[in-house]
Amino acid sequence: MSHPAPSPLTIGPRGALKGRVRVPGDKSISHRALMFSALAVGESRVEGLLEGEDVLATAAALRAMGATIERDDDGSWRIHGVGVGGLLQPASALDMGNSGTSTRLLMGLVASHAITATFTGDASLSKRPMGRVIDPLATMGAEITASPGGRLPLMVRGIVPAVPITYTLPVASAQVKSAILLAGLNTPGITRVIEPVATRDHSERMLAGFGADLTIEETPEGRVISIRGEAELAPQHIVVPGDPSSAAFWLVAASVVPGSDVVIENVGLNPTRSGLVTALRMMGADITERDARSVGGEPVADLHVRHAALSAITVPHDLAPSMIDEYPALFVAAAFATGTTVARGAEELRVKESDRIAAMAAALSAIGVAVTEHDDGLSVTGTGGGPLPGGATIASLLDHRIAMSLTVAGLHAAAPVTIDDASPVATSYPMFFATLDAVAPVAEVEA
C-alpha cells in the first residue's frame, strides 16, 4: 500500500465550532469485529464499521486468508467466517499500510494456524518495532523472521498445535495482549495474559460475546485474562460505537475555541478508553454526557462540550493507558491552558506511527508554545486561553493524529498553521476535514 502524494494544508481561525458531530466507528473495535467474525462459523453483520485505510487493510488481509467480507449498500458489512483454525495460506504478502493494530493482531492469528504470512507496510509502519509481539508468539512456537530491529517486513510461520503460555506484559499494551489471546484461540489448553496495568479491554468483551471461554481475574500480580483454546465462535451482529480517539479532536477544539458549542454523538466511553475526558474535566473542560446507554456491551453517550477556561494539571500516570492515543490532542489542550501542564507516564508514544513525544514537542515549539520534552511525555506551558502564535509549517511524519492535533491548534492561532501532509488523516478519519467545514465553515471567517 503506497502512500499518496503529500497533501499540504493550511489552517487558520474560523470562529466558534457549532453543531453536531458524528465520529467514525471505533477503530480498535472495528479491527476486532472483522477478525473475530472471520473466525466465527457462519455470517456476522457489522454496523458502523470505520472505513478508514487501517481497517480496510485488516479486511483485505482476512479476505486473503479465506474470509468473505462484503459491504452492503446500507453501509453495513457482512463477514462469512472460516472458523477458528480455518485460515488459508495467503497467495501474496499482506500489506498493512500504516496499521500497527492490523499487523500485531494478525500476527497473533497466524501464529497458531498452519500457514505462513509475510507482513509489509508503509515507511512509517516499517519503522515500528514488533519485538514485543514477536517474543510471546515465538514462545508459543511460531517461527518469526523479521527485518533488523524486529521490524517489517517480517514473516510469520504458524504452528499447529501451538503451546499455551502464561505471559506477563512487560509494557502495558492492548495490542500485545490481544495478539496472544488471538493465538490462544487455536491453541489447546489455556493461554493466560497477566497485565499489571489494565489496558483497553475490547478484545475480552468481544471474544466473550462471540462465545469464547474467557475468564478475567483480579490478582495481586495484576489482571489475569485466560482463554481456552480450540474455540468455536458463533457469528454476531455488532454495532460499533463512535471512536473516542476521533472524538478527542472535537473535545479539545470546542474546549479551546471561544464560543464553541458542540455535541459529539454516539461516543464509546469504555473506562479503559475514556482517560482524555477525565483529564480534560480535571483541567476545567465543560463536558457533559447525554443519553448514556450500552451498545454491544460497550458504554456509549453523546458528549456536549462547550468552550471553557482550562487550567494546567499534572496528569496522573495511571490515566496513560486509557488515553495513550489521545496524548497529542491533550498536548494541544495544554497549550491553551493557564499554567504548565505535566503529562508523563506515556513512553509508549515513542513507538507509535511516529515518535509522538518528539513530533509534538517539535510541532508545538514551532508554533510558539513553550515545551519541555521528557523521555515519557511533555511539560507544556499554555497561553491562558489566548491564541497561539502559529505561523509555521509542521511535519506530520505520516501520522494521522499529529496532523489532526495541529489542525485543532491552528483553529485558535494568530497566524495560520500549515501541515506539510494531511493525507495520513484518511487512515482513521476520512471525513475529518469535511466535518470541520460543517461545524466551522471557512466562509465564516471575517475579512
Task: Confirm or deny that 401 is annotated as ligand binding.
Answer: yes
Q: Determine if residue 177 is labeled as part of a ligand binding site.
A: no
Output the pLDDT for position 203: 96
| pLDDT of 346 over the 60 cut | yes
- Determine if residue 30 is labeled as part of a ligand binding site: no
pLDDT-derived band at 444, boundaries 50, 70, 90? very low
Check whether the bond before 153 is cis (ω within 30° of 0).
Answer: yes
246 pLDDT more than 60: yes
pLDDT at 446 over 80: no
Q: How far is CA 251 from CA 18, 21, 247, 256, 427, in A?
A: 12, 11, 6, 9, 20
Enumerate the active-site residues: 325
Binding residue per annotation — 127? no
Q: What is the pLDDT of residues 160-203, one digit of tens each?
A: 999 999 999 998 899 999 999 999 999 999 999 999 988 999 99
Its sign, for the CA torsion 237, 60, 193, 195, is: negative
Q: Which has the minimum average pLDDT: 96-100, 155-159, 225-229, 378-382?
A: 96-100
Q: Which fold does the domain 27-228+235-239 belong to in CATH?
A: UDP-n-acetylglucosamine1-carboxyvinyl-transferase; Chain (3.65.10)
Q: What is the pLDDT of residues 108-133, one digit of tens each?
A: 999 999 999 999 999 989 999 999 99
What would the mean pLDDT of 390-409 be, rounded to a whole number?
96
pLDDT tens digits, one per residue of 251-287: 999 999 999 999 999 999 999 999 999 999 999 999 9
Q: Check residue 298 and give its pLDDT.
A: 87
Give percent of the chain with pLDDT exceeding 70: 98
| pLDDT above 70 for 436 | yes
Q: Please report, as a single letter, which amino acid is at residue 414.
A: A
Topology alike, domains 9-25+241-441 and 27-228+235-239 = yes
Return the DSSP state at 200: -
**What confidence tens digit (pLDDT) does each residue in 348-384 have?**
898 788 899 999 999 999 999 999 999 999 999 999 9
Helix (H) or strand (E) holding 206: helix 202-209
Q: Domain segments of the chain: what residues?
A: 9-25+241-441, 27-228+235-239
Separation of alpha carbons 349 and 444, rounded Å: 36
Closest CA to 152 of 175, 137, 183, 130: 130
Average pLDDT over residues 219-231: 97
**pLDDT score, position 447:** 35
Closest-CA residue to 32 (of 6, 2, 59): 59
pTM attached to this predicted model: 0.85
Q: For residue 443, what pLDDT band results from cuts at 50, 70 and 90? A: low
The answer to the question of whether 236 is labelled as a binding residue is no
* CATH code linked to domain 9-25+241-441: 3.65.10.10
> Tens of pLDDT along 294-330?
887 789 999 999 999 999 999 999 899 899 999 999 9
Confidence of residue 47 (pLDDT cuts 50, 70, 90): very high
Res 70 pLDDT > 60: yes
The CA distance from 421 to 409, in Å, is 16
> Tens of pLDDT along 411-427?
999 999 999 999 999 98
